[in-house]
Amino acid sequence: MSLNSILQFLVPKDKKFFPLFHQHAQILVDMATTLHEAVNVKQEEREPFFNKLGELEVESEKLMATVNFELSKNFLTPFDREDIYALTSKMNEVTDYIDGSASRMRLYQVDKVKKSIRKITEANLEACQQIQKAIKSLEGFKDLKAVLKSCEKINKLENKVDNIYDKEIYEIFNENENVKEIIKYKEVFSALETTTDKCKYVADVLEGISVKHS
């Protein structure tokens, strides 16, 4: 058991880091929700959603900076410092790619949203909701089994999205002769699929923390 693990029993309940983790998780859910909403409206109606995503991404960056600042001035932390840094960094990467997915849709002026795109944004929303649920269960190490269960669901979602991605990339190249269309949709699908990968990386960190403290 690490020194930090021993000392955490001697200090009051964490009032600094977990509130920040909860804020960060809410931003993930809000961004995933916003992107899913954006792909369910007409192209000319998406701009407000894309603007909101940009604003939320800025908030994510600020939260990451705040967590790093708190790490620099606080000796006692709710769990190992490297895990705190990894968790907030990986969560920030999820927000990067959600915003990046929207940026590609805007850049390439995607007018027709394929059904598979909606399926992936829905899966990514569910993955972000599971991250939020896992962080709630992790606080105070009150329900580590629930954390692991959420991580398992995220892994299944990642496999599901991989299958959708592989099928769509095959169809894009096999059925489309328009190079611009191929590039457009490949870029969008790649960003969306990478978002799911980033959610899995968050799950990996959460799982590692749970195993350490089980």
Residues 6+ apart with CB under 8 A from 36: 118, 121, 122, 124, 125
- State pTM to two decimals: 0.92
Domain 3-212, CATH among 3.30.565.10, 1.25.40.80, 1.20.58.220, 2.102.10.10: 1.20.58.220
Q: What is the pLDDT, as a whole number, of residue 2?
A: 54
Q: What is the pLDDT of residues 70-119, one digit of tens each?
A: 999 988 899 999 999 999 999 999 999 999 999 999 999 999 899 999 99
**What residues contact 13, with CB distance under 8 A and at least 6 apart?**
140
Look up residue 144 and give its amino acid: L
pLDDT at 7 over 90: no
Q: What is the per-residue pLDDT across 147-201, written as a single tens digit (0 to 9) for each?
A: 999 999 999 999 999 999 999 999 988 877 788 889 999 999 999 999 999 999 9
pLDDT confidence of residue 11: 45
For the chain, the first-to-last Cα distance in angstroms comes to: 11
Q: What is the pLDDT of residues 20-44, one digit of tens each?
A: 999 999 999 999 999 999 999 999 9
